[in-house]
Amino acid sequence: MTTSHVKRALKYRFYPSDAQATELSRTFGCVRKVYNMALQARSEAWTLRQERVNYSATSAMLTAWKKTEGLAYLSEVSSVPLQQSLRHLQGAFTNFWQKRAKYPSFKSRKKSRRSAEYTRSAFRWRDGRLTLAKMVDPLDIVWSRPLPEGAQPSTVTVSQDGAGRWFVSLLCLDLPVMPEPVNAAVGIDAGITALVALSTGEKITNPRHEREGRERLVKAQRELARKAGGDGANRAKARIKVGRAHARIADRRRDFLHKLTTRLVRENQTVVIEDLSVRNMIKNRKMARVIADASWSELRSMLEYKAQWYGREVIAVDRWFPSSKLCSTCGILQGRMPLNVREWTCGCGTTHDRDVNAAKNILAAGLAVTACGDGVRPQRSTPGGQSSVKQEVVPAARTCGMSQP
C-alpha cells in the first residue's frame, strides 16, 4: 500500500507572558471586528444592490478601513490574522451557497471562539521554538508529544477557551505510520445506554460525562446568575468558573472518544456505521441533552480521519435501513418495535439483543455495499404489506461470498 503525506493539526497548551496575552487579546478583538464589518458589508451589498462581494473586495475594504481614524488600531496588530478572517468568511459564504451551512452570523465578544490564524509569513519556527508576528519572545509551549520528525508548520492557530486556557494548533504535513492491513471488520450501532454496540457482541457503556459533571456546572451557573450584569471583575471570574466546568466535561468526553476510536480503527480494516442525522435528532427536547452528551458526530468524525491515517475504510449505511428490526440470522423483517424493547425473539428461534443485532446488520449491509455496490436504503412495502428489505440486503451479502454475521 502506498502512503502519502496528510495534513495533521497538533494542538498544545501554552502559557503566554502578560505582554503576549495582551497582544493576542487585541488580535482576537481585531479579527472579530474585521469579520463582522466584512459580513455587514457583504450583506448590505446583496440586500441593497443585489451585488455579491468576494474576498478580494473585502480585502480592499480592509486596507481602506486601516486608513480611517476610528479604525487605525487595526494596523497595530499583524495583518495576516485579519486577512485569514476574511478568507474564513468567504468559506462560510461558499458553504451557505452550496447549502452545507446556514447564513454566516456575526461573532460575539462573549460567546464566539477567540482565535487567530497565522500563515507562514507571520511566524518564525526555529529550533523547535515558535515566535508569532509582533512578538519578541517565543511562546512557552508545553510539548505533550513531539511534532513529526522534520515537520515544518504551515499554519499556526492560537486560541483561548472559555476556561481561560491558551492553546496553539500547528498544521503540518506528516507521513503517517500505516500498520499492516487486518482481516477484520466491525459494525457499530450508536446508542444512549450503550454508547456503541459492536457486531462482535461487545457493548461499550456510555460514560455520560455531562451527567457526572452536572452538579459542578449547575453550581457555577447559579453563581454566575447572581452576579450583576456588565463586565465586572466578579462576573468575569464567575464566567471562567462556568467555562472550566464545561471544559472539564468536554475534555473527559474527548479523551474517551479518542481512546475508543483509535482502538476500533487499529483493530479493524473496515468500520461500518449508521449515517445518523444528529442535527434533527437533537430537536427532540426530551432527548437533546443525552444525545448531545453522546457526541455521535464527533465519534464519526474521529473514525473518518483516523481511518485515513491508518489506511482503513469507514462506510456509512443509510439512516433508514431497519437494522434493529431485521433478524441477522434469517433476514426476516419484524413489525413495529418500540424503543423500550431491548431484546426480542425472531420466528426462527433466535433471541437478539436489539443493539448487537443492529450492529450485525449494519456490518452486513456495509460489506454488501463494498463488494457489490448494492444499496442499503429499504424499498417501500409491497401492496401485500411485505417489505423487500430481506431480498435487497441479505442475499446480496451472501451472493458476494460474505456470511451473515
Cβ contacts of 111 within 8 Å, gap of 6 or more:
none
Instruction: Name the helix (H) or strand (E) containing 317.
Output: strand 313-317
User: β-strand 194-198 against 203-205: which pairing, if any?
Assistant: antiparallel
180 in a structural domain: no
Same domain, 325 and 377: yes
Per-residue pLDDT of the chain (405 residues; tens, 9 = 90+): 455 677 889 999 999 999 999 999 999 999 999 999 999 999 999 999 999 899 999 999 999 999 999 999 999 999 999 999 999 999 999 999 999 999 999 999 888 999 999 999 999 999 889 999 999 999 999 999 888 887 889 999 999 999 999 999 999 987 666 778 888 999 999 998 899 999 999 999 999 999 999 999 999 999 999 988 777 889 889 999 999 999 999 999 999 999 999 999 999 999 999 988 888 888 888 888 998 999 999 999 999 999 988 889 999 998 888 888 888 888 888 888 888 888 888 888 888 888 899 999 999 988 887 766 554 444 333 333 433 333 333 333 433 444 443
With vertex at residue 381, the alpha carbon angle to CA 377 and CA 382, rounded to the nearest 5 degrees, is 130
Co-location of 167 and 18 in the same domain = yes
Same structural domain, 108 and 247: no
Cα–Cα dist 111/91, whole Å: 21
329: Cβ contacts below 8 Å, ≥ 6 apart? 346, 348, 350, 404
Domain of 360 in residue numbering reads as: 318-399
Same-domain check for residues 264 and 132: no
Contacts of 345 (CB under 8 A, 6+ apart): 351, 352
- 404 lies in some domain: no
Domain contains 120:
yes
> In the listed set 300, 316, 332, which residue is the last one of a domain according to the structure?
316
Last residue of a domain, one of 316, 346, 377: 316
Q: Are residues 31 and 98 in the same domain?
A: yes
Residues 6+ apart with CB under 8 A from 163: 240, 243, 244, 246, 247
Last residue of a domain, one of 289, 316, 343: 316
DSSP structure class, residue 146: P
310 and 333 belong to one structural domain: no
- Give this prediction's pTM: 0.81
**Per-residue cell: 375:** 444499496
- Catalytic residues, which ones? 189, 274, 355
**Residue 251: inside a domain:** yes
192 and 263 co-located in one domain: yes
Number of domains making up the chain? 3
